[in-house]
């Protein structure tokens, strides 16, 4: 399908939040409007099919080590091999252009038990064209083959939308439309998104489908959205943590959904709430280095506007009967647990008293479930992130101590979901798979889905399916 510049321009505006309809559309609406893998059953053998793959992985020494995202793609890849498609995987590794997918490609070959070639220089940025080398490799591939294109973030075109503004849509659209058309003409005209974690504004996720004849969700991505993700929309309890305060927007969206009754918050972002809580009580609470103006460029800086947002959030929560559970102390740089943060100090974890406080409140939550009407569906808990700099043993206690609370809830009949990423790593380090109901492979995407902004690739797939 020939892609028009005006269509791409409108798509960019939707992706960058300038489309009221896209912003108001709910997750279930997006999912209902996007085709799935099985709709490609009529695609003939030998057809090139572009797979937006979840290849941002770090495979370990053996299968099963660091390759969960690669394994999540297997159902779709095996389906395509049985159909005889030539599957070409496109995707990124890390944020740096110099990253290589060589180890990922090798592991995919091991998982599929077949040779999987890696095509290095598949795009010529100077001319804005797909190279003859890449096109020839696809033409020469046998039906049922799987090919990997080198790290898509190697090329600037993949990262064009990262810092773009909606009013730049008309300026950016021509080059992005050209790139999408090049890929469609020389690589494939059928597209499958099988990259749950690829929620950034990468061109391969958000623009390439505009030039495709057919674009669908892969088996694993559809399974995650249709099952566990939808269950998380009905969470009774959420645990939010993280470094950046923009997660407060996602938390607000979860609260606005009107279902959640218990909210546990930790990490750096909780500082805005702790300060807000104190001010609402007519007190003051210092945030140390996190509120000093000279640190305004740091990701852990707490802007005054976030404190005001937190005040409103706590006030609304109180009116709605939502239990906000916040830390009562913090672990500082020297390892001390302290109820206050000095002017030159910084929070690196929740403190020991907070671990006890959180455990007691989890107990109250479990006790409250006994009053649920008979026949009610299981309660749902969603946990995201870690409580501090857990990769440093000095600041791991808060996260480590909370993992058993997830098991405690599951043992009480609660469905417990983890957002993946660092939270999943913490569960793997401190717990066991049967302590929870499900762990996603993509924390950021889950937050998008449950939070304030639509998942970018769903916006695109919905848009191209309804043009």
Mean pLDDT, residues 50-79 taken together: 95
The total of structural domains in the chain comes to: 2
Q: Which has the minimum average pLDDT: 99-108, 226-235, 438-447?
A: 438-447
Q: Is position 447 within any domain?
A: no
Region class of 160: left (phi > 0), else alpha (psi between -120 and 50), else beta: alpha
Q: Is position 449 within any domain?
A: no
Q: Is the pLDDT of residue 305 over 80?
A: yes
Q: Is position 444 within any domain?
A: no
Q: What is the CATH number of the domain that holds 134?
A: 3.40.50.1260
Q: Is position 448 within any domain?
A: no
Mean pLDDT, residues 31-42 taken together: 97
Same domain, 328 and 186: no
Same domain, 216 and 293: no
Mean pLDDT, residues 357-386 taken together: 94
pLDDT tens, residue by residue, 163-197: 999 999 999 999 999 999 999 999 999 999 999 99
Mean pLDDT, residues 31-58 taken together: 97
What proportion of the chain, given as a percentage, has pLDDT over 70? 100
pLDDT confidence bin for 452, thresholds 50/70/90: low
Same domain, 203 and 334: no
Q: Domain containing 271: what range?
A: 229-439
Same domain, 120 and 20: yes
pTM, rounded to two decimals: 0.89
Q: Is position 408 within any domain?
A: yes
Write down the pLDDT at residue 425.
84
Write down the pLDDT at residue 23.
77
Same domain, 248 and 392: yes
Same domain, 196 and 244: no
Same domain, 413 and 290: yes
Asked if 378 and 426 count as a contact pair (C-beta separation under 8 A), the reply is no
Same domain, 372 and 318: yes
Same domain, 301 and 383: yes
Write down the pLDDT at residue 406.
97
Half-sphere exposure of 461 (CA within 13 A, CB side): 31
Q: Is position 146 within any domain?
A: yes
């Amino acid at each position: 399908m020939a892609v028009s510049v005006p269509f791409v321009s409108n798509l960019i505006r939707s992706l960058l939040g300038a489309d009221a309809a896209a912003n108001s559309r709910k997750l279930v609406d997006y999912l209902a409007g996007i085709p799935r893998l099985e709709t490609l059953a009529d695609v003939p053998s030998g057809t090139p099919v572009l797979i937006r793959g979840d290849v941002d992985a770090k495979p370990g020494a053996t299968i099963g080590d660091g390759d969960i995202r690669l394994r999540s793609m297997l159902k779709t890849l095996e389906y395509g091999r049985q159909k005889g498609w030539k599957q070409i995987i496109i995707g990124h590794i890390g944020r740096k252009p110099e990253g290589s997918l060589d180890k990922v490609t090798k592991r995919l070959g091991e998982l599929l038990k077949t040779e999987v070639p890696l095509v290095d220089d598949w795009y010529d940025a100077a001319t804005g064209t797909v190279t003859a080398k890449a096109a020839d490799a696809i033409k020469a591939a046998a039906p049922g083959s799987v090919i990997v294109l080198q790290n898509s973030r190697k090329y600037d075109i993949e990262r064009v939308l990262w810092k773009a503004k909606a009013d730049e849509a008309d300026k950016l659209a021509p080059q992005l439309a050209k790139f999408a058309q090049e890929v469609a003409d020389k690589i494939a005209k059928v597209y499958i998104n099988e990259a749950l974690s690829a929620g950034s504004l990468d061109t391969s996720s958000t623009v390439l489908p505009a030039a495709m004849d057919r674009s669908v969700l892969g088996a694993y991505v559809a399974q995650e959205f249709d099952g566990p993700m939808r269950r998380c929309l009905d969470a009774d309890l959420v645990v939010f943590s993280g470094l950046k305060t923009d997660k407060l927007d996602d938390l607000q969206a979860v609260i606005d959904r009107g279902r959640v009754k218990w909210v546990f918050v930790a990490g750096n972002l909780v500082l805005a709430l702790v300060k807000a809580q104190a001010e609402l009580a007519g007190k003051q609470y210092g945030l140390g280095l996190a509120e000093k103006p000279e640190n305004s460029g740091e990701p852990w800086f707490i802007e005054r506007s976030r404190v005001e947002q937190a005040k409103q959030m706590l006030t609304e929560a109180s009116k709605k009967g939502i239990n906000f559970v916040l830390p009562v102390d913090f672990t500082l740089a020297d390892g001390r647990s302290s109820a206050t943060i000095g002017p030159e100090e910084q929070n690196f974890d929740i403190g020991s008293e907070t671990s006890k406080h959180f455990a007691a409140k989890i107990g109250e939550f479990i006790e409250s479930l006994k009053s649920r009407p008979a026949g009610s569906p299981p309660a749902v808990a969603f946990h995201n992130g870690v409580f501090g700099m857990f990769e440093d043993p000095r600041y791991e206690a808060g996260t480590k101590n909370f993992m058993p609370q997830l098991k405690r809830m599951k043992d009480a009949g609660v469905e417990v979901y983890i957002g993946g990423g660092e939270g999943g790593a913490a569960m793997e380090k401190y717990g066991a798979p049967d302590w929870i109901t499900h762990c996603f492979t993509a924390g950021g995407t889950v937050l998008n889905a449950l939070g304030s902004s639509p998942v970018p690739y769903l916006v695109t797939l919905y848009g191209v399916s309804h043009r």
